């Protein structure tokens, strides 16, 4: 009886040892797979984060870029007035539109009385840029501001004038010089001539 019991005990211990070994082997394999999966995921996510952050920085730099106003010419003259020309564009209709800003840096109200021109038909324009002209020195030609049949200029009228420290926008339209002519001088009132270059309209 003792021999049979000993054999049964040995068989039971052998079965337990085999079972325990299989369990440990399975657990070890499972742990190795988990660790391997985690590493590639972390490595793959890092470059994606870097790319997105670089893209965002690029967008921020573009949005922070300051916008600058174009200035073709700037002259200072009578009554502490500063005249700025920001554009001179040739249009398909056969005319040139010149525009910019005028700033009253003086201490008195400015009515642009000297800018309306000396011609009789321009007297109705009051405070305006009606007396302005474009001078083509190379071609020896002078172009006056366009006007309608009633003598009203195609230009800005400074209604109420310009107060001290204020800036006002202005524009004036002229007949277009020949296509080969791009450099002209803008002249108005007693202000110094402003050399400008005409650009082609879109």
**pLDDT value, residue 95:** 94
- At the second CATH level, the architecture of 73-200 is Sandwich (2.60)
**pLDDT value, residue 92:** 86
**pLDDT value, residue 79:** 87
**pLDDT value, residue 78:** 84
Q: What global pTM score does this model have? A: 0.64
Do the beta carbons of residue 173 and residue 187 sit within 8 Å?
no
Nearest to 126 by CA among 101, 150, 158, 100: 158
**For the chain, which residues make up each domain, given as ranges?**
1-67, 73-200
**pLDDT value, residue 73:** 96
**pLDDT value, residue 66:** 41
In tens, the pLDDT along 11-28 reads 545 444 444 443 444 444
Q: Which residues of the chain have pLDDT under 70?
A: 1-69, 202
**pLDDT value, residue 23:** 40
**pLDDT value, residue 200:** 86
Do the beta carbons of residue 145 and residue 172 sit within 8 Å?
yes
**pLDDT value, residue 60:** 46
Beta bridge partners of 199: 89
**pLDDT value, residue 202:** 65
Nearest to 166 by CA among 99, 106, 84: 106
**pLDDT value, residue 58:** 44
**pLDDT value, residue 14:** 46
Nearest to 158 by CA among 189, 196, 121, 198: 189
């Amino acid at each position: 009886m003792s021999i049979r019991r000993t054999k049964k005990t040995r068989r039971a211990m052998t079965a337990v040892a085999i079972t325990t070994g299989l369990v440990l082997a399975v657990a070890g394999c499972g742990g190795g797979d988990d660790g391997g999966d985690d590493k590639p995921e972390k490595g793959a996510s890092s470059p994606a984060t870097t790319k997105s952050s670089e893209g965002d920085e690029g967008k921020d730099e573009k949005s922070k870029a300051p916008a600058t106003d174009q200035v073709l010419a700037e002259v200072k003259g009578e009554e502490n007035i500063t005249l700025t020309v920001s554009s001179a564009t040739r249009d398909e209709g056969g005319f040139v539109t010149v525009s910019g800003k005028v700033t009253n840096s003086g201490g008195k109200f400015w009515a642009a009385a000297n800018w309306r021109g000396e011609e009789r038909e321009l007297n109705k324009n009051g405070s305006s840029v009606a007396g302005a002209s474009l001078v083509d020195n190379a071609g020896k030609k002078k172009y006056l501001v366009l006007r309608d049949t009633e003598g009203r200029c195609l230009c800005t009228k400074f209604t109420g004038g310009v107060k001290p420290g204020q800036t006002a926008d202005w524009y004036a339209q002229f007949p277009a010089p020949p296509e080969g002519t791009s450099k002209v001088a803008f002249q108005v009132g007693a202000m110094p001539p402003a050399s400008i270059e005409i650009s082609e309209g879109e």
